[in-house]
Amino acid sequence: MNLPVFDIFRPKQWYKNLLIFIPIVGSLNISDTNYIFLSLVGFGILCMSSSGTYILNDLIDTKRDSLHPRKKNRPIPSGKITRNQAIILITTLLVISEILAILLNVQFFILNSILIASMIIYSIKIKNIFLMDVFSIAINYVFRAMSGAYLIDVKISPWLIIGIFLLALLLAFGKRKNELMFLDKSLLEFRHVLKQYSQKFLNYAIIITAAAVILVYSTYAINGPEQIGDWRLIITIPVALFILISYLTKLFSGKNEGKELDDLLISDKKLLLSILSYVALVIILIYLIPPNIFNW
């Protein structure tokens, strides 16, 4: 079944931009309607920026994607969207996102510009360079979270930035593992960077990165974020560990058919429910529990 033309915007990838809401939640400003409005508008701007660069990536990868078992049905390689139409969409999305960004906040505009530039450079060059490809993806996640902090003028914990980077790096390594497992070997010629990865290397990289993720998150939760002032988030560590192990189990099982995180969240109800439970638990702990109750 062919994908609808709307999928050229890759709306299933917009979940990455939800990182913009982390600063408003972590700074205890979730009830501030002005901050909520700014974050929602910022989310929309990041979605436009992301979609513009995704279309550019599809345009560059048209030949390669036409040989991919799933990506060949995307609008550009399937011929539903012409090259000229794609260029118009790219220009429109990126220009509008930049105009709206500078109207909101200069710092947010700068980070949005950096994010766009980073994704364009990734699409043109970095995605073909061993290790730099996954590190570039991970850094872009950090930019999303930082843009949310600059948008509402609040601080973001260095531990949180490191944690987001490591989690994104884990997902990037997982994506490469999926591609290596499920992409036909004859198509590796069209994914040059995959020839530089091996299953053994990716297995070690995933395990090491996953261990670093839980270590950093546990340190962050035990020390207690500055805005909260105590260690109540330690209660979320088992849930975070459960989510991490569930993802790794799915990744190493070889039964996920090359699905990325967005597809996994749709197909794996247990994983999705676990993530939603984690989010609900964090909000309950930092907003509904009285201050200093854990300062024993």
Q: What is the pLDDT of residue 82?
A: 83
Provide the CA 31 distance to its chain's centre, in angstroms.
25
CB-count burial class (<10 Å; 0-12, 13-18, 19+) for 189: exposed
The reported pTM is 0.87
Q: Is the pLDDT of residue 84 over 60?
A: yes
Q: What is the pLDDT of residue 295?
A: 58
> What proportion of the chain, given as a percentage, has pLDDT over 70?
85
Q: Is the pLDDT of residue 2 over 50?
A: no
Q: Which residue has the higher pLDDT, 96 or 4?
A: 96
Q: What is the mean pLDDT of the chain?
A: 86
Task: Give the C-alpha separation, 289 to 296, whole Å.
Answer: 15
Nearest to 20 by CA among 39, 45, 48: 39
Q: Which residue has the higher pLDDT, 132 or 28?
A: 132
Q: Which residue has the higher pLDDT, 171 or 267?
A: 171
Q: Which residue has the higher pLDDT, 229 or 280?
A: 280
Query: By mean pLDDT, which of 106-115, 136-145, 155-164, 191-200 is the weakest?
Result: 191-200
State pLDDT tens for residues 31-70: 899 999 999 999 999 999 999 999 998 888 777 766 666 6
Q: What is the pLDDT of residue 188?
A: 58
Q: What is the pLDDT of residue 77?
A: 77
Q: Helix 158-182 crosses helix 199-223 at what angle (to 10 degrees)?
A: 160
Highest mean pLDDT (candidates 46-60, 172-186, 224-238): 46-60
State pLDDT tens for residues 271-290: 889 999 999 999 998 888 77
State pLDDT tens for residues 240-258: 999 999 999 888 887 666 5
Q: Is the pLDDT of residue 28 over 90?
A: no
